[in-house]
Structure 1
Amino acid sequence: MLWLALQLFRLPIEVFAARAPAVAVARGRVLAADAVAEAAGVQAGQKLSSALGLAPQLTACERDPQREAAALARLACWAGRFSPQVSLAPPDELLIEIGGSLRLFKGLDALLGEVEAGVSAEGYSYRIGLARTPLAAQWFARAGVAGHEADAAAEQARLAALPLGVIGFDERAARRLAVLGLARIGELLVLPQASLARRFGPDLPLQLAQARGEVPDLRRSFDFPERFSEYLELPARVEQAPMLLFGARRLLQALAGWLNARGAGLQHCVLELEHEDIDDAQLALGFAAPTRDGDRLVRVLRERLERLALAAPVVGLRLVAERIESLPGESVGLFGEAGAQRIAPVVERLRARLGREAVHGVAVVAGHRPECSTRAVDWPQAGAPQATPTRPLWLLREARPLPEQGGRPHHDGPLQLLTRPERIESGWWDAGEGLGDVRRDYHVALSARGEWLWIYRDAAGWWLQGVFG
């Protein structure tokens, strides 16, 4: 197994998206500072009054544990795109078992690149740790020790070199360790474990054994919700629809991870726009084929937002997955994606731009006349394809008469008949077709210019009905 630990070390302040410099405070002391505040000398643990002395323009936000928990859960949903085995380690850490996903993402470096890009896009500062055990991965992340040792012995040596602060001792225990002259994990490992248990409690030897993989470290998996409905409070009122994409992207990427963890694809979702003074608005997003591709979800929403005029400023967003379908993992075929899967994103973007009713498919229906044998349908339409005779995709609005010379029809020269006649009849009983008694003999013909044409002959002569692509 290979565990990836994410430590969001500025989460208490970054959940607010406050104007820099900014800090999160609890009981009058700084809990977390953004990068600008840290550059001014502000540090966690300082009194707020001391921090204001270093940065007079400091924005102070009272810590909101509920907001932090919601952000961590949303990030856990997003992490579902990498593995269904995700665990929360509150208040600011997330664990992902990525060993089974390396082939899917074509190696560790590629997977790490996607993780780092995704967390950065969410707007969070982070540290990453990698190890064979979840606890060791957490300790590496806290220490800012990046990279992965393929050799187990080398990983154990790196673990032994970590400072004791990564374990998270309380102040009293930290002072006692300092008095004993202990500073590294390796120095604890050489001491009698029974003595450590007497001095610092039984949890310390257990943690050391779990980090080294000597004792199982069972983590509770994150419970992906049965229904996806996530809310995001915007840091400021948004008055232009395209500007909503920044916040909505977080929700869509979380939805994509949730879908992946559930083995499902999205067919329809609703983005609710929360206004202050008027009723909330809803923006429906439909997809031509079930998908869990986060980038595809974002593209469709971008098309909709670019053409949307807001009735009032938006202060919050809620994304609700209305209709999902089972979408098991699929291997890439010898010739790539199936045609429907390749064209689905194109159909979705056209519908986003032109409206759903402007883009449709064509289905064969029972009808004697070619003009009445097809109808517009939603795309894609469920059901097995029907076997039909050879027909052109494009029919002329009205059939054109063709001249006849020497017993042969002409269209910019004589036409060569390629097929035997196909008789199509419509009798007096076909009142719906409104033709009365009709008899036509259809042929596929080749013109002198190489065009494939669909022509017929009736009592009045030869006619051009359609053109093949």
Structure 2
Amino acid sequence: MVEQGRILLGDQAAQRAGVESGMGIAAARMLAPAIALVARDRARETSALQTLACWAGNLTPRLSLTPDTLLLEIGSCLRLFGGLEVMVPLAKEGVQAQHYSVEIAAAPTPLGAHWLAQARTQALCPDEASMRQKLAMLPVDILPHKAAVTLRRFGITTLAEAARLPSAALARRIGREAVRLIAQALGEQPDPRPDFVFPERFALSLELPATVEYATALLFAARRLISALAGWLSARQAGVREIMLQLRHRHTVTDVVLRFADLTADGSRFERVLRERLERLTLQAPVESLLLTATQVVQRPHRNQTLFEAAQDTRDAIGNLLERLSARLGEKQVYGIAPHDDHRPEHATRSASLFGKSSPVAPPALPRPLWLLDKPESLSDVQGRPYRCGPLTLLAGPERIEAGWWDTRASRRDVRRDYFIARSVDARWLWIYRECQAPGRWFLQGFFA
């Protein structure tokens, strides 16, 4: 990476060739003739940091940004994750999974952590004593350039040597700002930082480094947006039932809508459904950029912890299965059953989308069986009494149902029936009815559990 004619940052291959930060372009080319020079793009860096900040909502709701650093306040979250030794590697793995390189450190002060990470120490300091010990070994180059040059002229090379000088004399030589930074890093002065404000609405875009012609190749880039969405939802304690990924071509846009069986904030679930959709998508034109939008965001209700998580795991597994089937077969091929406002039992339910909102229907005032026959079974009539493998005992009823007079279709004709709850000779509870029209035949409609 190049800025103002000098090398700002090199990858591992460039570093192995001897290319260092601050080196001129001509010298870098002599050491590595095949080096590829990329101009620094501060706008893309800012966008990348904001994307990472949204992702970091998975770890902590409090964080702060500098032009080149993401600072996470994790003191209040350590017990939740199991300590510093667990949380720091987890954060590092999360950043690397999005294909960013990262230098990470932990310290009781934000500037202390920043400097330790900038110096690539990989230090994990649980208290101020260990932090001061690590900071003392840092070179003075960590300070602003003018202050570092002045200190090196005096033969001072580390912060420990600088800290041993009287503060008043040190301030006259390197300036009060540099002395204040040292005090803030050591925890001797407060260092308030503005909190990163998570956006009210999630709509995050990503410019692709090159156009993509195959849909499956988009999952690699979309993973960053999905990780950011999962963190944003975690920080806002919300979930989604639907998200939309826009594939932006040069002149057109392709919308990929992902729907979920229930409210979720699980990034791995987002990725599984998106993979299924992309594997069956043929692009009409190369994709230049992506835009991920959370279209249906709902506050997640708090759930009590249970001793056994098997029930919740089962619900999640069923939701995952339904979403994958829907992505593979199409939403119209996978559906559920919803109540329908109709008094006729055979028309009181209908197929409904797993991802749509169903209108509430008032439950019937009287008991209804869970098992209805596809077609009512005709019963024998002996002296006006219904028989099914023996005489049936009427326990409750009649309940008169007259409905469907408005329906002109023969398959959904008008019904006029008297319903009863009956018990058979084998002690099964049945739901039967007698037609009000002559000859008044008896029928079995369903079974009670």
* Shorter-chain TM band: 0.7 to 0.9
Partner of 2:107: 131
Percent identity of equivalent pairs: 40
| Structure 1 portions without partners, runs of 5+ | 1-23
Partner of 1:156: 132
Structure 1 residue 57: deviation in Å? 2.5
Q: Check 1:294–1:424 CA distance in 2 against 1; reply closer, same or farther (3 A cut).
A: same
Q: 1:349 is aligned with what amino acid?
A: R
Instruction: State the secondary structure of the residue aligned to 2:172.
Output: helix
Structure 1 residue 329: deviation in Å? 5.3
Contact 1:271 1:282 (C-alpha < 8 Å) held by counterparts: yes
Partner of 1:280: 253
Q: Check 1:177–1:201 CA distance in 2 against 1; reply closer, same or farther (3 A cut).
A: same
* Separation of aligned partners in 1, 2:263 and 2:236: 13
Q: 2:326 is aligned with what amino acid?
A: R
Question: What per-residue deviation string (whole Å, max 9, x for no partner) do you get for residues 139-179 of structure 1?
Answer: 111222234343432332222233323x2331x43333223
* Separation of aligned partners in 1, 2:425 and 2:64: 66
Partner of 1:35: 12
Partner of 1:296: 269
Partner of 1:114: 90
Task: Tell me which moved more, 291-300 or 326-335.
Answer: 326-335
Q: Is 1:425 aligned to residue 400 of structure 2?
A: yes
* Separation of aligned partners in 2, 1:240 and 1:260: 31
* Separation of aligned partners in 1, 2:347 and 2:415: 14
Partner of 2:215: 241
Q: 1:298 is aligned with what amino acid?
A: E
Structure 1 residue 196: deviation in Å? 0.8
- Give the 5 Å matches for 1:17-416: 24-90=1-67, 92-165=68-141, 167-170=142-145, 172-276=146-250, 278-327=251-300, 330-336=303-309, 343-379=318-354, 381=358, 386=363, 391-393=368-370, 395-401=372-378, 409-410=388-389
* Separation of aligned partners in 1, 2:96 and 2:379: 66
Instruction: State the secondary structure of the residue aligned to 2:293.
Output: strand
Contact 2:203 2:291 (C-alpha < 8 Å) held by counterparts: yes
* Cα RMSD, aligned residues only: 3.3
Structure 1 residue 383: deviation in Å? 5.4
Contact 1:424 1:442 (C-alpha < 8 Å) held by counterparts: no
Contact 1:446 1:453 (C-alpha < 8 Å) held by counterparts: no
Q: Check 1:210–1:103 CA distance in 2 against 1; reply closer, same or farther (3 A cut).
A: same
- One of 413, 416, 420 as aligned partner of 1:437: 416
Q: Check 1:444–1:82 CA distance in 2 against 1; reply closer, same or farther (3 A cut).
A: farther
Aligned residues: 435
Question: What per-residue deviation string (whole Å, max 9, x for no partner) do you get for residues 265-304 of structure 1?
Answer: 223322111113x411111222333322222222221221
Task: Tell me which moved more, 150-159 or 384-393.
Answer: 384-393
Q: Check 1:168–1:404 CA distance in 2 against 1; reply closer, same or farther (3 A cut).
A: farther
Q: 1:332 is aligned with what amino acid?
A: Q
* Separation of aligned partners in 1, 2:404 and 2:364: 26
Structure 1 residue 95: deviation in Å? 0.2
Structure 1 residue 407: deviation in Å? 7.7
Contact 1:454 1:466 (C-alpha < 8 Å) held by counterparts: yes
Structure 1 residue 250: deviation in Å? 0.5
* Separation of aligned partners in 2, 1:461 and 1:139: 89
Question: What per-residue deviation string (whole Å, max 9, x for no partner) do you get for residues 326-375 of structure 1?
Answer: 23654433454668666444443333233334444433344333202223
* Separation of aligned partners in 2, 1:356 and 1:45: 56
Q: 1:102 is aligned with what amino acid?
A: L
Q: 2:38 is aligned with what amino acid?
A: C
Structure 1 residue 400: deviation in Å? 3.8
Instruction: State the secondary structure of the residue aligned to 2:105.
Output: strand
Q: Check 1:35–1:426 CA distance in 2 against 1; reply closer, same or farther (3 A cut).
A: same
Contact 2:344 2:415 (C-alpha < 8 Å) held by counterparts: no
Q: Check 1:402–1:237 CA distance in 2 against 1; reply closer, same or farther (3 A cut).
A: farther
Q: 1:118 is aligned with what amino acid?
A: G
Contact 1:369 1:424 (C-alpha < 8 Å) held by counterparts: no
User: TM-score, normalised on structure 1?
Assistant: 0.81
Q: 1:350 is aligned with what amino acid?
A: L
Contact 2:433 2:445 (C-alpha < 8 Å) held by counterparts: no
Partner of 1:10: none
Instruction: State the secondary structure of the residue aligned to 2:9.
Output: strand
Task: Tell me which moved more, 281-290 or 357-366.
Answer: 357-366
Q: 2:37 is aligned with what amino acid?
A: A
Task: Tell me which moved more, 313-322 or 44-53.
Answer: 44-53
Contact 1:453 1:466 (C-alpha < 8 Å) held by counterparts: no
* Separation of aligned partners in 1, 2:86 and 2:6: 40
Q: 1:214 is aligned with what amino acid?
A: E
Q: 1:368 is aligned with what amino acid?
A: H
